Structure 1
């Protein structure tokens, strides 16, 4: 499937095979003046007890030429690592740089001032000391939806970190509305214009392996690497990032569990199947068993030969599994009539599903009731049995 030119706010719809109703109503006739733009906009508070730190740095894979823009040279990535931290004073880290925020606002035609997006705050602080622990922390890799910065998974990332995970989010160059590098260059979505959807997951799988080498390889380069348990690694992704989680699991045996948040399997699972635990969480209308819009989950289900779960959250859409859900509410953006579930509630249920799954398979904790669709606290988590 061709990744169409990035010219409208609905590019993600066409590129990723979801209906227009799955996207927030960002094209509604609201003016910037009518939308909340003050800086005091915060993401949902993490549910864990630990403070969260954030390191953000560039990695250059000199063994590969960038697949989207070969003339640019080696493959460059920006990596954000959220981690359990010692409590320290100071302000939380910015959500995006102003250049990245402008790229997101322009690309999605949001009726917001880019400074308002850049001014969003989570709880993570940069440069804080890593919290020592008796046991090393499991690692979770995050890969965002196509055209989206990994910052749109910040709520999930900092929630996991607050519960004792190290979380590495990857901004894949030339695949988003804009990634700013330390030298000030901003790489926009060239892949939208020149790529095929089937190309993306294998490229991201290679990105993930390179990042894992940096974090837990023979010569790790991150300052907190000694606190990571290389025997306990999971990966989660939204949209095509979820497809990429499966590809990365197949390509790299270090990854022990995978999560796909509403992502089409553009690259099919291998005929030998995926024997490791895998979680599917999706929206109705596209990822309910038997849906005709996207048959890839039905086609892949029997190839998930290990522990597997499939959940649908009613009244959600494609971007409900990202920070768009709670932030749209906070900024006063028009609600999507096809995805009316409260943004904070969507975020809460998604985090509970992902954390319960990872706790069970990376930490060996008892299976949480939500994983069987039997937790009365989360009636929205509807387990599917194709």
Structure 2
């Protein structure tokens, strides 16, 4: 396995296949004919969702030769009072097929992910006070569609956040545009050396800044943009999306707080430091301080340069896919991702700690969950990198 794939935990779905090969087929191990579903959001608000097609004419696409503008698809989730519409489709049959084929997964229908039951209502009217909703930007792992963070997005929206998840075009196995065109992962075909990851992460930071311009600028492209409070913006990401959070915060002061979920930080924080709140959240097996070089060494380096509020948490029994919808849906169709921690429990953890972080830093509400280990979540350990300890 080459170094880049090892550090990224492979593509998430490929990891699922690798663990499933040689064991029971997905169909035999799971519940044939059952419909995958996302867990219900925990907040009091119903959730609406819509998608935006945005074009940045100021820069060429970094991956598609000869394309003079950067096109992005962005999904929004938000509170709504309208629950009479149809539930949103998780992904299209083509997107499901491309994602499963990318992992070489057999034993399940190729369109199975397109049948996944969601909790958000398509194009429902957003509700909330003008400039009253904090905005959270989500960035998925490399080769993964933005939809793989839907469970987290729906949950945050149910608690009164507006969430924007970005498909970084040509970095995902499938990005579908309104005219039906599907962009695939051109970047997957490029050698994944250090220069590649730095190029990708800096490109994602540019994507994030452009999306913020489009959502909070004077000529916002979405009718509900007036609900966004531009002074309360945070970002979270998984894998390389998490690593991109650091770079986005360095590049754009509008991002007031950030979370890196299980992502190696290839582009370091400069010696001048980063003073805004930051949370590292990762696998115990990969990101326990003092466990050696590689991925954890990048966190140890950057920890010293985080000069504001910060926490380093690790989750026992989790795997890379545990922190996204992929772990949940894989478990439902009978694919073993190799995690000792049940996927539903991992989902509770990622939603609970992400929400606590955002409540503290965007709404300034005290969150005891972030002060010390919790009996409610015994799998989550607080790490002190200076002493190489986690409790």
Q: TM-score scaled to structure 1, two decimals?
A: 0.92
- Alpha-carbon distance, 1:380 to partner: 1.5
Instruction: Give the match for residue 246 of structure 2.
Output: 246
- Alpha-carbon distance, 1:150 to partner: 1.0
Instruction: Give the match for residue 383 of structure 2.
Output: 384
| Mapping for residues 1-386 of structure 1, pairs under 5 Å | 14=5, 16-18=7-9, 23-24=15-16, 25-31=19-25, 33-34=27-28, 35-36=30-31, 38=33, 40-111=35-106, 112-133=108-129, 136-194=132-190, 196-292=196-292, 293-294=294-295, 295-336=297-338, 339-366=339-366, 368-386=367-385
Q: How many residues align?
A: 374
C-alpha RMSD of the superposition: 2.1
CA distance, structure 2, for counterparts of residue 93 and residue 252 of structure 1? 31
CA contact (8 A) 2:80 2:127 kept: yes
1:384 alignment partner, SS class: strand
- Alpha-carbon distance, 1:350 to partner: 1.0
In the alignment, structure 1 segments of 5+ residues that lack a partner are 1-9
2:66 alignment partner, SS class: helix
In the alignment, structure 2 segments of 5+ residues that lack a partner are 386-391
Deviating runs (4+, > 4 A) in structure 1?
Answer: 10-13, 19-22
**Structure 1 residues 116 and 39: CA distance shift in structure 2, 3 A:** farther
CA deviation map 1:297-333 (0-9, x unaligned) = 1111101111000000000111111112221221121
CA contact (8 A) 1:83 1:161 kept: yes
Q: TM-score scaled to structure 2, two decimals?
A: 0.91
CA distance, structure 1, for counterparts of residue 226 and residue 288 of structure 2? 41
- Alpha-carbon distance, 1:286 to partner: 1.4
- Alpha-carbon distance, 1:189 to partner: 1.1
CA contact (8 A) 1:27 1:110 kept: no
Instruction: Give the match for residue 388 of structure 2.
Output: none
CA contact (8 A) 2:356 2:370 kept: yes
1:167 alignment partner, SS class: strand
- Alpha-carbon distance, 1:184 to partner: 1.6
- Alpha-carbon distance, 1:15 to partner: 6.2
- Of residues 291-300 and 138-147 in structure 1, the stretch that sits farther from structure 2 once superposed is 291-300
